[in-house]
């Protein structure tokens, strides 16, 4: 009996001690403890075992970030020499090089007296340090780490972000700050999309006209690349370069028109979309050139994997070139796909000779290609299934297209191996993981971070955490916290929001504009191009560029409506009304503002719509007598009108207001 009582007491105390853990990605196993490890200026850490420069630097940055978040002037800002009884003790078991499948597991134990972090490799220690920093909390006594036992390892070995630095040039600082942010959510691959119709973004000393004539002067020098690679490695991130061939190659041909399948001259493409210029796969000189170029790049990028693109070859130049038709005939190729397969095979041989494994988009899948290549699925899930069943390693990007302004929840539930998968157990082993893809047709260095973050943190969790960690609300709650933490790395997804409004309307008018933009999202998918004719020079400073996926205020309003409709609580009703009145009132202010701020005139219809549906919502919350058939008819027609995209944006409170209207039936 005494035992049972004691047990009960413990459970209760334990329950009291529980506080919400804002961990992301969520660990494989975590057990919260009652203890709190108090932090003061005497905090110290030591690393022992297979320590390297990267882990020491990471640990030093950990102390600086802890200092930045707490304002504490630590006595030791660098790891101390001798192992510790108290403080943070990091132990690294083995020296391992950074490559696909490197052990990233760690064990973390935070007690009141000490913190122990055990990892198999330096990379595992980095992952554990991020978890520890996410466990920072505070109470009336000061800062502490929440007591916990964590046992963690990733579900997938390849958790990447593709950054397209071609369509819009993304300078070094964009790359470096995003590498830091990636490491904060335990991502481990940066896929640099380096060549495109719109720009050739890497220095070639072997063929200098590539970057000299193909980049408008905007490219990474080889020194830059070395810095990116070492900066990434210091954060446990591999860098995979992509040289997209044979299509997407206009910028190559400005300097080397002889590579093309049609005669030049060529210029750098300023439009988006699939272009005709394509490498000529029939000339031996092509392979000589590519071997020279890829050999140079192989020396620059140490990772085993190299991406050759292979997507969206429209075949027009091939079809129009009699020489190429003849080549096809002579070799018995009945389709351009077969010709491209031949091209890919030649490239695969070059890469093999360079000790590289080839990665390509799903178009390259062909039975004749060696099983060492990796297929990245983007057009649909079937390619992933087909390739994995055929014995190829695969990566999922379909469903992770963060350039398309889809909600985080959509990406979050996009599992590379879903519960209902048709993949055989053998094929599942070929699923390496996935990559979020940040294509840059509609983003500038100013807006790109707001398309990457915070949604990529949800993708990072999908690829790291167990499949059953999939609660949308929990994800959103934690993602909000992590999102703000990422700002310490300089990413601009939060801070450029009001900055861009200031440019449009001035600081003093930001609050008015913000009320509207807070409930707007840019249209999803490829819809933006349907409203305006974009080139790479078009402005990306308008409201659809400011508005962000997952409009938080809209989401919260819709959740508030759900909550109210469940129990019809009067306070909640008042909260809803208060918000509606703000929106109604704001439409007049926006109108007035637009008189002297021409750039926001395009969003007046959205502002009107918001006001009108807010009035409808007010009516829906009024006594029943209003809600006759004709009111319902006009309400739903107004809601349908308001649901239509305008100024490349969508109002995201239609859902909540529609529910209020429906509830009156």
C-beta of 61 vs 381, nearer to its own copies: 61
Q: Applying CB under 8 A, which part among 322-330, 362-370, 597-605, 653-661 lies near its own copies?
A: 597-605
> Does residue 69 bind its own copies (CB under 8 A)?
yes
Distance CA 479, CA 498 (A): 20
Check: CB of residue 257 under 8 Å from CB of residue 119.
Answer: no
Q: Applying CB under 8 A, which part among 97-105, 113-121, 155-163, 533-541 lies near its own copies?
A: 533-541
Distance CA 367, CA 67 (A): 55
Q: What is the DSSP letter of 147?
A: E
Distance CA 544, CA 542 (A): 6
> Does residue 578 bind its own copies (CB under 8 A)?
no
> Does residue 605 bind its own copies (CB under 8 A)?
no
> Does residue 595 bind its own copies (CB under 8 A)?
yes
> Does residue 484 bind its own copies (CB under 8 A)?
yes
Question: What is the SS3 assignment for 388?
Answer: helix
Among 428, 503, 530, 592, binds its own copies (CB under 8 A): 503
Residues in 124-183 that interact with its own copies by CB under 8 A: 138-140, 142-143, 171-173, 176
Among 498, 575, 608, 655, binds its own copies (CB under 8 A): 498
> Does residue 623 bind its own copies (CB under 8 A)?
no
In terms of Cβ atoms closer than 10 Å to its own Cβ (0-12, 13-18, 19+), residue 449 is buried
* 370: number of Cβ within 10 Å: 12
C-beta of 209 vs 371, nearer to its own copies: 209
What positions carry a catalytic annotation? 312
Distance CA 74, CA 403 (A): 41
Among 507, 622, 634, 662, binds its own copies (CB under 8 A): 507
Residue with the two structure tokens 């061939």: 245
C-beta of 14 vs 495, nearer to its own copies: 495
Distance CA 262, CA 31 (A): 63
Among 488, 524, 608, 641, binds its own copies (CB under 8 A): 488
Longest CA pairwise span in the chain (Å): 93
> Does residue 541 bind its own copies (CB under 8 A)?
yes
C-beta of 495 vs 530, nearer to its own copies: 495
CA-angle at 315, arms to 312 and 319, nearest 5°: 180
Q: Applying CB under 8 A, which part among 70-78, 153-161, 341-349, 419-427 lies near its own copies?
A: 70-78
Among 418, 506, 511, 525, binds its own copies (CB under 8 A): 506
Tell me the closest approach of the beta carbon of residue 139 to its own copies, in angstroms.
7
Kindly determine how many residues on this chain lie close enough to bind its own copies according to the rule CB under 8 A: 56
Kindly write out the interface string for residues 255-294 of this chain, putting x where it contacts its own copies by CB under 8 A and - elsewhere: ----------------------------------------
Tell me the closest approach of the beta carbon of residue 535 to its own copies, in angstroms.
8
Closest CA to 150 of 26, 268, 53, 56: 26
Is the bond leading into 265 cis (omega within 30 degrees of zero)?
yes
* 497: number of Cβ within 10 Å: 18
DSSP string, 174-231: HHHHHHHHHHHTT--EEEEE-EETTEE-B--SSSTHHHHHHSTT--B-HHHHHHHHHH
Among 18, 42, 221, 662, binds its own copies (CB under 8 A): 221
Residues in 513-532 that interact with its own copies by CB under 8 A: 532
Tell me the closest approach of the beta carbon of residue 220 to its own copies, in angstroms.
11
Paired tokens of 457: 């943190």
* 68: number of Cβ within 10 Å: 11
C-beta of 380 vs 506, nearer to its own copies: 506
CA-angle at 178, arms to 172 and 183, nearest 5°: 130
Distance CA 589, CA 608 (A): 11
> Does residue 556 bind its own copies (CB under 8 A)?
no
Distance CA 529, CA 542 (A): 14
> Does residue 370 bind its own copies (CB under 8 A)?
no
> Does residue 223 bind its own copies (CB under 8 A)?
yes
Residues that bind its own copies (CB under 8 A): 64, 67-74, 77, 138-140, 142-143, 171-173, 176, 221, 223-224, 445-446, 484-485, 487-488, 490, 492, 494-496, 498-499, 502-504, 506-507, 532-535, 537-542, 595-599, 602
């Amino acid at each position: 009996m005494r035992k049972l009582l004691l047990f009960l007491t413990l459970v209760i105390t334990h329950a009291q001690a529980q506080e919400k853990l804002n961990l992301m990605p969520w660990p494989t196993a975590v057990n919260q403890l009652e203890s709190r490890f108090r932090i003061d200026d005497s905090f110290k850490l030591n690393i022992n075992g297979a320590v390297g420069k990267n882990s020491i630097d990471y640990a030093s940055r950990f102390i600086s970030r802890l200092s930045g978040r707490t304002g504490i002037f630590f006595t030791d800002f660098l790891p101390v020499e001798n192992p510790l009884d108290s403080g943070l003790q990091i132990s690294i078991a083995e020296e391992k090089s950074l490559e696909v499948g490197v052990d990233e597991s760690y064990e973390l134990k935070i007690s009141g007296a000490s913190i122990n972090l055990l990892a198999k490799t330096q990379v595992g220690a980095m992952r554990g340090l991020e978890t520890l920093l996410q466990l920072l909390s505070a109470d009336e006594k000061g800062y502490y780490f929440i007591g916990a036992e964590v046992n963690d390892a990733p579900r997938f070995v390849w958790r990447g972000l593709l950054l397209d630095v071609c369509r819009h040039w993304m300078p070094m600082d964009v790359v470096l700050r995003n590498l830091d942010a990636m490491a904060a959510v335990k991502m481990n691959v940066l896929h640099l999309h380096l060549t495109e119709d719109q720009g050739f973004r890497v220095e070639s000393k072997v063929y200098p006209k590539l970057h000299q004539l193909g980049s408008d002067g905007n490219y990474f020098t080889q020194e830059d690349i070395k810095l990116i690679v070492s900066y990434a490695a210091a954060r446990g991130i591999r860098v995979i370069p992509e040289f997209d061939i044979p299509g997407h190659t206009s910028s190559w041909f400005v300097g080397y028109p002889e590579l093309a399948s049609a005669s030049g001259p060529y210029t750098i493409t300023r439009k988006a979309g699939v272009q005709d210029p394509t490498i000529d796969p029939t000339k031996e000189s092509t392979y000589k050139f590519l071997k020279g170029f890829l050999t140079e790049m192989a020396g620059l990028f140490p990772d085993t994997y190299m991406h050759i693109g292979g997507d969206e070859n429209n075949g027009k130049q091939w079809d129009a070139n009699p020489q190429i038709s003849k080549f096809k005939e002579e070799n018995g190729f009945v389709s351009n796909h077969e010709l491209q397969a031949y091209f890919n095979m030649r490239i695969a041989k070059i890469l093999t000779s360079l000790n590289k494994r080839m990665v390509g988009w799903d178009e390259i899948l062909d039975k004749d290609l060696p099983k060492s290549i990796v297929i990245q699925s983007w057009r649909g899930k079937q390619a992933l299934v087909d390739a994995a069943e055929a014995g190829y390693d695969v990566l999922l990007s379909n469903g992770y297209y963060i350039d398309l302004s889809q909600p985080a929840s959509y990406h979050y539930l996009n599992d590379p191996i879903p519960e209902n998968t048709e993949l055989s157990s053998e094929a599942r082993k070929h699923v390496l993981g996935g990559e979020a893809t940040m294509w840059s047709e509609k983003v500038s260095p100013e807006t790109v971070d707001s398309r990457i973050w915070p949604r990529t943190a949800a993708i990072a969790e999908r690829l790291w955490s167990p499949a059953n960690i999939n609660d949308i609300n929990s994800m959103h709650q934690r993602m909000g916290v992590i999102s703000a933490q990422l700002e310490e790395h300089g990413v601009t997804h939060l801070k450029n929001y009001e900055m861009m409004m200031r440019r449009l309307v001035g600081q003093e008018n930001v609050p008015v504009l913000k009320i509207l933009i807070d409930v707007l999202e840019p249209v999803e998918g490829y819809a933006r191009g349907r409203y305006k004719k974009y080139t790479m020079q078009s402005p990306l400073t308008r409201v659809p560029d400011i508005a962000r996926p997952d409009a938080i205020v809209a989401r919260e309003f819709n959740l508030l409506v759900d909550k109210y409709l469940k129990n019809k609580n009067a306070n909640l009703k008042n909260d809803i009304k208060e918000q509606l009145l703000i929106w109604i009132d704001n439409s007049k202010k926006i109108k007035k503002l637009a008189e002297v701020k021409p750039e926001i005139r395009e969003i007046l219809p959205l502002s009107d719509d918001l006001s009108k549906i807010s009035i409808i919502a007010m009516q829906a919350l009024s006594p029943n007598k209003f809600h006759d058939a004709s009111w319902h008819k006009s309400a739903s027609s107004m809601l349908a009108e308001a649901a239509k995209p305008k100024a490349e944006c969508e109002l995201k409170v239609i859902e909540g207001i529609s529910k209020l209207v429906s509830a009156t039936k």
